[in-house]
Chains A and B, each alone.
Chain A
Amino acid sequence: MGLKVDQLRICYRTLRGDVTAVDDVTFDIADGEIMGLAGESGCGKSTLGNSLIRMDVRMRQLGGRVELDGAELPISDARAMRDYRFKVVSIIPQYAMSALNPTRRVGKMVSELLRSRGFDYKSALPEFERRVKLVGLDADILKRYPIELSGGMKQRVVMIVSTLLNPSLLIADEITSALDVSTQRAVGEMLLEFRDRNFVKTTMVITHDLSILAQVADTILIMYAGKLAEKARTDVVIGSPLHPYTQLLISSLPEVGVRHDEHTLVGIPGRPPPLLNPPSGCRFRDRCPFAFDRCAADPPFVEVQPGHSVACWLHADGVSPAGGAEQC
């Protein structure tokens, strides 16, 4: 079952025109799987995550469909989505931690949230407290104000609150980005723990930090300029990536033990193309060291090995550049 996203296209309406931030995206996440979504900032990760739960007024679904546990998720219907939000699909938005109202006690916040969704705070309390202890916090956290909590504590509170009703899908957007390494680790382990305890069925972890995904994700999906670039098991993406973008991203990460004087890493020159009127053909073309004439056409996202899909002409043998490639 799990989550199935099929040819999803999402755009933003702006004064200057439509910005297609999620363009023809197809993937699925199995039950019990943690999928990581990575890419440079501005490539549409948050847009994809948000579109699965709460489209804002400027967002439009241009096409495609989303299926969760075998039933269609009515993502463009804000009213219908209200029944899913928080109960079935839950999101920890980017900067959620800093969006907590600093002058409202944690307990009050949780009770209001639950009430607004038609749930009883009293009966949910024991479970909440159990989970608070599970992530290594004191139960008296309910009586404290967010302003008194450290970043890591706030992030864990946000995680518990958003998974309290055991949602089917959890979208975690940049939840480790503003944290120290030690708290990053705690939050990462929490994701694994919540999965293992079945608090959430499928998880989508959005981050620009591949090394976090290497720790927690089962599969990794790489996005570039609104399109999919590569998807495979974590060890495959980290160990033997096929898409030039993935390769360059990974080779630009300094790891403990790598030193500048022994092994100088290089970044990826240039910037992602604008999503308002993006260039035709492969969007990575002007930054890609392997670009060749075929790249003037849009590369299809094809499965090159079981569970490993890539959108690059270097790995699209047998697919004609004219398109018509079968979707995986």
Chain B
Amino acid sequence: MLTLDNVTKVYKTGTFGGESLPAVRGASFEIRPGEVTSLIGESGSGKSTLGKMILRLTPVTSGTISFEGTDVAGLKGKRLREYYRHVQGVFQDPFSSYNPVFRADRVFATIKRSYFPSVSNSEWHGRVEASLESVGLNPVDVLDKFTHQLSGGQLQRILIARALLLEIKILVADEIISMIDASTRVDVLNLLANLKSRGLGVLFITHDLSLGNYISERTIILRRGVVVEMGATQKVFDNPQHDYTKMLLTAVPQLHKKWGAGLAPELEAMGVTSEGEGRPGRYSRSSMHPLAAMHAWKGHRAQVVAAALETAASADRTDTYLRTHEEVPPLVEVEEDHFVVTSAGAE
């Protein structure tokens, strides 16, 4: 459906483009209809840049993005508008997605002006209401309101309703739930997941693996602009190959599993157990000498902290590493529909 082939983006910065900053390097993947593909990476890894290139909001430096067989780079005027009839996006910050001087429902009027000038007002109104209802909003609640009178979740859903008014086939959702409350987050997520049944392909951009796992069929892990691992979500999550993927997985805060919990099997073998779930990281002895247990516990904490620092340090380095132009290693298939970059784990 939408295919990226060896897509690279180098930002020119400084006066007269003196410096260059490669934000995406040699990315190749596709977004298939009826599937949610999640694009996961830390901030600065180039996720939004990829989304913007797909939405033609920023040009690609090299490589091609093609939609139903045509290269989208050359689209202009009418043909670009037709492209947007099928490919739409929703962005991270609901409050910056609306023009603050107008009412929120102006986004529908804009669509009508460009795409449905001949539809009568009453019919259009009916369509808008139907679309709002399909994203779980009560039209009375949201029509005729200004942005600051609506919640983040409502605003994001209005934008999805806007996209659904067109005959969209691909939706790029760039961190659309990171700024809304946990209590309404999953409703927006469920909504995205339900779009699959309409045959839509969704590119779900996030830095949170648990969200990606929740709704997506396929997962792409992006690191410093390079796709390091991708494939069926279950395979990537159950059998992560790249060290970076593994690190991300262990760092995700979970409700029922402590960060450090998996790090000390040898401690458990020695009989040190966690002392009640309530106090994370506190261990008490069972059959060991108190001092030995204390020692073991301290060692374990040190290990936990060291691991956390290492992950953080690797994140700190992100920006400087991005600036390198090193050759991108190819992906190899480790099992069916599961690819990993060849130098797995190597820096």
Tell me if chains A and B make direct contact, with any CB pair below 8 A. yes
A: which residues have CB within 8 A of B? 40-41, 135-136, 150-153, 156, 180-189, 192-193, 196, 208-212, 214-216, 218-219, 233-236, 238-239, 248-250, 252-261, 264-269, 271
Q: Which 3 residue pairs of A and B lie closest in terms of their CB atoms, listed nearest first?
A: A235-B277, A186-B312, A136-B309
Asked if B186 is an interface residue, CB under 8 A from chain A, the answer is yes
**One of B78-86, B113-121, B249-257 at the interface:** B249-257
CA distance A257 to B151 in the complex (A): 29
**One of B16-24, B63-71, B98-106, B177-185 at the interface:** B177-185
Residues of B near A258 (CB, < 8 A) are 210, 213-214
Residues of B near A235 (CB, < 8 A) are 276-278
Contact of A181 among B215, B252, B305 (CB under 8 A): B252
Name 8 A/B residue pairs within 8 A (Cβ), A-sorted. Answer: A183-B315, A184-B253, A185-B259, A193-B305, A234-B277, A235-B276, A238-B256, A253-B255
Chain A residue nearest in CB terms to B237: A256
CA distance A102 to B313 in the complex (A): 21
* Binary per-residue interface labels of chain B (170-198) against chain A in the complex, 1 for a CB within 8 Å, 0 otherwise: 00000000000111111101100100000
Residues of A near B5 (CB, < 8 A) are none
Contact of A238 among B44, B255, B301 (CB under 8 A): B255
Contact yes or no, B253 A181, CB < 8 A:
yes
CA distance A268 to B181 in the complex (A): 10
CA distance A152 to B304 in the complex (A): 18
* Binary per-residue interface labels of chain B (218-236) against chain A in the complex, 1 for a CB within 8 Å, 0 otherwise: 0000000000000000000
Chain A residue nearest in CB terms to B217: A261
Residues of A near B255 (CB, < 8 A) are 210-211, 214, 238, 250, 253, 255
CA distance A234 to B249 in the complex (A): 22
Residues of A near B90 (CB, < 8 A) are none
| A197 → chain B closest CB, angstroms | 11
Contact yes or no, B248 A41, CB < 8 A:
no
Residues of B near A264 (CB, < 8 A) are 190
CA distance A250 to B211 in the complex (A): 15
Residues of B near A254 (CB, < 8 A) are 186, 189, 210-211, 213-214
Residues 254 to 310 of chain B near chain A (Cβ within 8 Å): 254-256, 258-259, 276-281, 301, 304-305, 308-310
Contact yes or no, B279 A218, CB < 8 A:
yes
Contact yes or no, A253 B182, CB < 8 A:
yes
Asked if B324 is an interface residue, CB under 8 A from chain A, the answer is no
Contact of B251 among A40, A181, A255 (CB under 8 A): A181
Q: Main SS of the interface on chain B?
A: helix
Chain A residue nearest in CB terms to B309: A136
| A144 → chain B closest CB, angstroms | 12
Contact yes or no, B308 A267, CB < 8 A:
no
Asked if B347 is an interface residue, CB under 8 A from chain A, the answer is no
| A219 → chain B closest CB, angstroms | 8
Contact yes or no, A259 B213, CB < 8 A:
yes
Could you list 12 further interchain pairs (A-B, Cβ under 8 angstroms) beyond the known A41-B181, A253-B182, A255-B256? Answer: A150-B44, A150-B319, A184-B251, A185-B251, A186-B309, A186-B311, A193-B305, A196-B301, A215-B280, A219-B278, A233-B278, A256-B249
Contact yes or no, B253 A209, CB < 8 A:
yes
CA distance A119 to B207 in the complex (A): 41
Residues of B near A261 (CB, < 8 A) are 193
Contact of B187 among A211, A234, A267 (CB under 8 A): A267
Contact of A185 among B213, B253, B278 (CB under 8 A): B253
| B191 → chain A closest CB, angstroms | 10
| B218 → chain A closest CB, angstroms | 13
CA distance A248 to B187 in the complex (A): 13
Residues of B near A216 (CB, < 8 A) are 280
Chain A residue nearest in CB terms to B43: A180
Contact yes or no, B252 A189, CB < 8 A:
no
| B276 → chain A closest CB, angstroms | 7
Contact of B308 among A186, A248, A250 (CB under 8 A): A186
CA distance A136 to B307 in the complex (A): 11
Residues of A near B182 (CB, < 8 A) are 40, 208-210, 249, 252-253
Contact yes or no, A136 B214, CB < 8 A:
no
Residues of B near A187 (CB, < 8 A) are 312
